[in-house]
Structure formats: structure tokens, C-alpha cells
Structure 1
């Protein structure tokens, strides 16, 4: 795995270099000392992963992340002296496509290496899954349920979709965004400032409700139980991402007997693709984001290859498609 370091502090660069040197499979691709240099180097030599500082002269890590994900996308992890202190900057970088964040060097090498290992698995992840064919009669007493899964570039995609749902929207919405639990409260607050529907972090026992959005909020998997309420589960433990989109999608495919729409958005890897296929086989309408509007065309591409998506749409067409589908099925405005 080729990893680049972007940091204006030479001591921090050296500390990160020493951590990478402890793993034979990790090679240092290059070093940049500000965001502008990083953008230039990435355009010529795109690494597998960039360890990106947040605050730097000339161009900070947030703007560098935005430009890199636009011009030569790759996995990016924000590295800063205090994730909590610069949480706003980190969340902004994540809206542009950064995958994760960590403190350095105070957090030591263990946490950093664990996060790098997770990203390494994600980049090369493969998915094997069983397929289930189900016959379902939808229960009209239940509200329609829209489940959305996303990763890299997801925050902006979610805003584009959720902001188009009106205040009198009659469907329930549940979301898994690949995001460490420590960032979820800030992310939820950020989303609530930009959309009309109320959004809250899903808790144990939360139930799908019309016009309400639930967001996965821990590092365990959001799942639907037999009583049609949500819960969190540590299993399966071998998922690269926690929470896993596949786990949520499979659980609602197994449990939910109301009308459903599954949506898989931008992201690296294949999480959600198999789950979307299970939703389609269970009678759900399924949508994958198209290549042109994805920050990273990984998860939706995997879904398309599995023939899991009924529709492949640009991000700005997804909300109207959901609204139209629900209106047609109910034969009344939503």
C-alpha cells in the first residue's frame, strides 16, 4: 500500500514516517509540506492513501482534500493534533470525501495503524454473499421506508437528497454514513441545519416514522429487529466498516413488510452492494448513484455489476425519483 504524508511540521512527518516503516507492506509514496504541494504531487502520482494534516500554510488540508477528490481521488485520512478541537474542519473535509480522522502523534501508532489497516481492506475488499429470493405482500399500515447507505463524499450527497424532501413527506428514512461515532453528533447537527425534515441519531428501540430521518450513531451495526424497531449489534465482527450498510440493508430486507426504497450512494469499496441486491430481490425499488456525480464510484459500481439497482441516477434526481415512486404507489400526494 502506497501512502503519502501531507504535513507542514517536519517532526510530525518523521513520526508518521516511522510508524509506516513498522509495516513492510506500507510504502511511503511522497511527502508534501502544504496542501498546494499535495494537490500537485497527487495529480502526478496518486497514492492509495494520504495522511492529510488539517491546518497548513498556503492551502489547508480541507481545501487540499476538496481539490484532490475532484481531480485525482484517493483515500484520505485527516491527521491533526486534536480531532475534537478541529472537528468542524474535519467534518468539512469529510463532506469533500475524507474517510476518517485521527490525532497524531499523541494517539500513538496503534490507533493509526488500525485505521490504515481498515482503509487498506476497504480498497481491496471483495464481497461474497448469498442471494435470497423472497415474495412479499406489502403492509399498507406501515409507512414507506427509505434506507440510504453512503461513504466517501456522502455528506454532500445526503444534503442534496434530503434537502429536496418537503416538510410533509410521509416516508420514514434510515441512513448509514461511514463515519466514526465521535463525529456523528456534529454531523447530525450539520445536516439538520440544511434540511427540512427532522433528523436524529437512531437509538435502541427507534422506529421508522413518517417524515422522520434516523442516522446510525455508533460503531456497531444499525439493524432492524423482528418488532420492526432499530437496534445496534456488534456482529458480524468481520465487517470492514462499522456501521455496515450491508448489515442494515439485509436486516430490513428480512424484516420490513412495508413498501421500501433502497439507495446506495458514493463511496469506496463494495459495502451496500450485496445488501441492495437483497432489497431488490425482496421486492424493494433500488437506486444507485451514477458514476458522473459520485465522489468515488466504488459502492454504486459494485451494485450495478451485481444488477442490484433498478435505477442508476445522478444524485440530484434521486429525491424526485423517490417522491414520484411513492406518489404513484399511494395514488396520492406525499
Structure 2
């Protein structure tokens, strides 16, 4: 895999270069010292991956990402001294197509290698396909996946407020909301419900007692190793992130027990994915017409035969709990 570095700090460039050259399959494509140079070099020689600094002179990494993704797109990981400090810029860059973000590695820090390996698998440049470790398969929590659009925030609080903070299942949500507002949405949810809510980051693994929320305008996906990631494909889906894409990836890869819920929303996103989950043995639930703000997505799912139960929103949480393994209720 050919990897480029865009960073104006010599020490950071050297730290990143040392990470890249540790793996024989990785080759350093080029180095750019500001955003303008990165855009121009990418146009002339598009690499497989760019490690893009957030703050640079002439043009910062956010604008460089925007231009690259519109002119000569490739995988981009944002690199910054502090992801938390510059979260707003990181999420802005993800809105333009950056896949992930990482703190600038210190010398001897191999954490970035795992991130690069994940990106390599995502873009098909990995030399091998990683499978879930055996111990992970034995200890999978029950998984509840939820898709929602118009009217979703209120429906979600109704359901999630009924789960206790030590809820023995993992929850992953795809809510149609622009990346500009998703961080605020996660904060708002945390104030409304007992369970902790976090934005799903690349390599996250669903865990009992935690809610993960799709956090970019890319599609949230579950990978074969059961971790979560983001993918810009398929490009022709109007909903980004797409409930269908996420549900379908879960149906393909998750090997444990699961309940899938499709809530209020316009259009048909999620219906096909819900059907795949039902065919894979999941218990599938759709919100009923009476309690939906827009009875679009659930209606299509019902018509497709994707739904086991149609329930008012107030009854969905208890139905999810009912279908947990008996020893966990």
C-alpha cells in the first residue's frame, strides 16, 4: 500500500515515516508540507492513503481533504496533536470524506500501525483477511441495532430511557443526522438516558452496557472481525450513513444473538437490511404507524416481509429485553 504524509512539522513527518517503513508492504509515496502541496501532489500521484495533518500553513488539512476528495479521492486519516482538542475540525474533515483520525504518534508508538491496517482492509489493500479471535466469538454480547430518521431522536429517547445503565446488551444506532450535528446529538442523548452514548470510531467493538452512534456522513459498517468502521461506498445511496448498509453488514458478519429495530423515517432506508437480518435469524421490530412521525421506512419493511413484530414505540424496549438470552434478562 502506498502511503503519503501531509504535515508541516519535521518531527511529526519523521515519526509518521518511521511507522510507515516498519511494514514491508507499505511504501512512502510522497511528503507534502502544507495543504496546497498535498492537493497538487495527490492530483499528480494519488496514493492509497494520506496521513493528513489537521493544522498546516497555506491550507489546512480540512480544506485539503475537501479538495482531494472532490478531485482525486483516496483514503485519508486525519493526524493531529490532540483529536479531542480539534474534534470540530476532525469531524468537518470526516464530513468531506476522511475515514478516521489519530493523535500524532510518538517515536516507538505502534498504535498507528493498527489504524493503517484497518484502512488497508477497508480499501482492499490488505494482504490477508482478519477473522475474529476465538475468545471474542465465545464472549459476544447480545446486540441491538437501531435505524432511525425523521422523528428518530424522540423515539430513541423513549426506547433507550427504558434500558438501565448496566444493560447486558450492546447497542449500535444509525440515525440520519448531518455530521455537523452528530456530536451534539450524542451529548443530548447522554443527558436523556441512563446508558452511556459514544460516537462509533473505527475499530470500535460493540460492548455490553454501551451505545455506539454512527458519527460521520460515511456509512457505518461491521467488518468480518466484528469491529466497526466507515466506508464511502456505496456512493449511490442518498442516505449517508445508510441504515441498509449497516444492517446488511451486521447480517453478514455478526455471529451472536441480535434484535434489530427500524424506527420512524421518510423513504425506505433500512428495509432491505432489516430483511437480511430477519433471514439471518434476528428478531426484527418495526415502529407502528400510529407512533411514527413519518411512517415511511417501517412501512416499506413491513411490506417486504422483513418484520417479525410491529410495535408502538413505547413497547419496543420491553420487546428487546424479552428477546435477550434468558440468563441476561
Using structure 1 for the length normalisation, give the TM-score.
Answer: 0.57
For the residues of structure 2 that align with 1:259 and 1:173, how far apart are their CA atoms?
12
For residues 138-177 of structure 1, the aligned pairs below 5 Å read: 141-177=139-175
**Superposed displacement of residue 168, structure 1:** 1.9
3-state SS of paired residue (1:239): coil
| CA-CA distance at 1:331 after TM superposition | 2.2
Match of 1:195 in 2: 193
Alpha-carbon distance in structure 2 between the residues aligned to 1:257 and 1:333? 18
SS at match of 1:292: coil
2:129 aligned residue: none
**Which of 262, 271, 280 is matched with 1:282 structurally?**
280
1:210 is paired with a residue of what secondary structure?
coil
Does residue 260 in structure 1 map to residue 258 in structure 2? yes
**Distance in 1 between residues matched to 2:322 and 2:295, nearest whole Å:** 25
Cα shift readout 1:245-270 (whole Å, capped 9, x = no counterpart): 00000000000000011100000000
Q: CA RMSD in A?
A: 0.9
Instruction: Give matches, 1:240-251, under 5 Å.
Output: 240-251=238-249
Question: Once superposed, which parts of structure 1, at least 4 consecutive aligned residues long, lie more than 2 Å away?
Answer: 330-334
Q: 1:321 to 1:305 in 2, by over 3 A?
A: same
- Cα drift, residue 325 of structure 1: 1.3
Matched residue SS, 1:250: helix
2:178 aligned to 167, 177, 180, which one? 180
- SS of the residue corresponding to residue 171 of structure 2 reads strand
Gaps of 5+ in 2: 1-136
| TM-fit CA distance, 1:226 | 0.9
TM-score after normalising by structure 2: 0.58
1:317 aligns with 2:288: no
Residue 327 of structure 2 corresponds to residue 332 of structure 1: yes
Q: Give 2:226's match in structure 1, choosing from 221, 225, 228.
A: 228
**Distance (whole Å) between structure 1 residues aligned to residue 241 and residue 289 of structure 2:** 24
SS across alignment from 1:332:
helix
Q: CA shift at 1:140, angstroms?
A: 5.4
3-state DSSP of counterpart to 2:277: helix
Cα drift, residue 141 of structure 1: 2.6
Q: Which of 188, 204, 212 matches 1:214?
A: 212
The Cα shift of 1:333 comes to 4.2
Post-superposition Cα deviations, 1:3-49, rounded to whole Å, max 9, x if no partner, equal xxxxxxxxxxxxxxxxxxxxxxxxxxxxxxxxxxxxxxxxxxxxxxx
For this pair of structures, how many residues does the alignment match?
193
Measured at CA, do residues 226 and 333 of structure 1 come closer, stay the same or move farther in structure 2, by a change above 3 Å?
Answer: closer
